[in-house]
Amino acid sequence: MTGVVLKDIRKAYGQVKVIHGIDLDIKQGEFVVFVGPSGCGKSTLLRMIAGLETITGGEMFIDEALVNEVPPSKRGIAMVFQSYALYPHMTVYDNMAFGMRIANESKSEIDRRVRSAADILQLTPYLDRLPKALSGGQRQRVAIGRAICRDPKVFLFDEPLSNLDAALRVATRIEIAKLKESMPDTTMIYVTHDQVEAMTLADRIVVLSAGRIEQVGAPLELYERPHNLFVARFIGSPAMNIISATVKETGDTTTIALPDGKPVRVPVATAASEAGKAASFGVRPEDLSVAADGDHLFEGKIAIVEALGEVTLLYLEEVGGQETIVAKMPGIFQAKKGDAVRLTAAPEKLHLFDAEGKTYRR
Ligand SMILES: Nc1ncnc2c1ncn2[C@@H]1O[C@H](COP(=O)(O)OP(=O)(O)OP(=O)(O)O)[C@@H](O)[C@H]1O
């Protein structure tokens, strides 16, 4: 099994510790995405897997072999970078063939692999062109093609789409999704800033913060059941509304008080010892809807309306609680600044975190 296993992996640059002990078991054929804020260590971790950074502590296994001291060229990996790094004087064909020529592969094998990669990435019409005669998206596909030709056991991507404009990003993202389908046994590890890439490409997402793992899970698992406030805020856009609250009644369901004193019942269990403690109450903008008369969570005046066509974002200045609440309404929502609104959400969409920021849902 060509998995990638990280056991208590650590990295320090001199005295500065940047990765604090990462344990991760990536299965063969899995597509795993590393996400996290700038500087959290995503690229460092990927580069340690690639062998481009030394490992300060812990053990790294690729294909069940300890690779801590194995050079990049012997790890069975191929990496695609943000900058495509193609040879400008070589055709697309030669760029893709280059590594195999260096490795003394036969001409027929080189031709077979280049044409197969070109076919997967729809590059066949461009094989005789120089990189300068290609769009950014096509160039990045050549860089991916070059990596495919190496027939890697593990494919590493470091923000491969971040130099592309919005439309090309979407098109190339779809190419990568197809690539995953056409190479089901190849393990892929992908670093990105982009939530949509992470949500759409990943089998599992690894959320990192300051050199530690916050949560690992399938995209919708992270979205629906964030383990802590960090993941709750990081996954989803606009971010989840988080309001400070106090635990009032504990038990199989919990009653909290919002800042204006309003009680809210949340269907999560809490121990009696939690009564009186501070908590954070969370609800996603897309889970809010206009309340019928009577029951509502929030009541306030609209401060800003952002009509995006497919959705309308309402920024609500809460009357009692002093917090700004964001609501995402489907389609075009008729509202203007100053309108009074009441918002509600289904109980199962409510989140509750303890004073340390850990979810109360078990
Ligand atoms: N050569 C180095 N010497 C010292 N510190 C470094 C070095 N390279 C990276 N770092 C630090 O390590 C941390 C992790 O950096 P890394 O590039 O892995 O983060 P990242 O999550 O990929 O960030 P970004 O999303 O901005 O690319 C950062 O705090 C960075 O400043």
Give DSSP secondary structure letters for 60-121: EEETTEE-TT--GGGTTEEEE-SS----TTS-HHHHHHHHHHHTT--HHHHHHHHHHHHHHT
Ligand 1 centroid distance, CA of 132 (Å): 31
pLDDT band at 102 (very low <50, low <70, confident <90, very high): confident
Cis before residue 238, ω within 30 degrees of 0? yes
Average pLDDT on 116-127 reads: 91
Ligand 1 centroid distance, CA of 9 (Å): 15
Half-sphere exposure of 275 (CA within 13 A, CB side): 8
Length of the chain in residues, anyone? 362
Higher pLDDT, 107 or 320: 107
Ligand 1 centroid distance, CA of 18 (Å): 7
Average pLDDT on 169-196 reads: 91
> Closest residue (by CA) to atom 18 of ligand 1?
41
Mean pLDDT score across all residues of the chain: 93
Q: Provide CATH code, domain 241-353.
A: 2.40.50.140
pLDDT band at 1 (very low <50, low <70, confident <90, very high): low
Q: What share of the chain is helix, strand, coil (3-state, %, to 5)?
A: 30, 35, 40
Amino acid 319: pLDDT: 67
> Closest residue (by CA) to atom 14 of ligand 1?
41
Amino acid 2: pLDDT: 65
User: Tokens 């805020």 map to which residue?
Assistant: 233
pTM of the prediction?
A: 0.92
Q: Which residues, at least 6 apart from 46, have a Cβ–Cβ distance to it below 8 Å?
A: 34, 79, 156, 158, 189, 191
Domain ranges in the chain are 4-233, 241-353
User: How many other CB atoms are found less than 10 A from the CB of residue 95?
Assistant: 25
Contacts of residues 226-234 at CB distance under 8 Å and 24 or more positions apart, as own/partner, are 226/351, 226/359, 227/358, 227/359, 228/353, 228/357, 228/358, 228/359, 229/280, 229/282, 229/353, 229/357, 230/357, 231/207, 232/282, 232/351, 232/353, 232/359, 234/35, 234/36, 234/37, 234/207, 234/209
Apex 256 CA angle, 272 and 349, nearest 5: 110
4-233 and 241-353 share one fold: no
Q: Does the beta carbon of 231 lie inside 6 Å of ligand 1?
A: no
Amino acid 320: pLDDT: 67
pLDDT band at 8 (very low <50, low <70, confident <90, very high): very high
Query: Is the pLDDT assigned to residue 163 strictly greater than 90?
Result: no
The matching CATH number, chosen from 3.20.20.20, 3.20.20.70, 3.40.50.300, 1.20.120.1200, for 4-233 is: 3.40.50.300
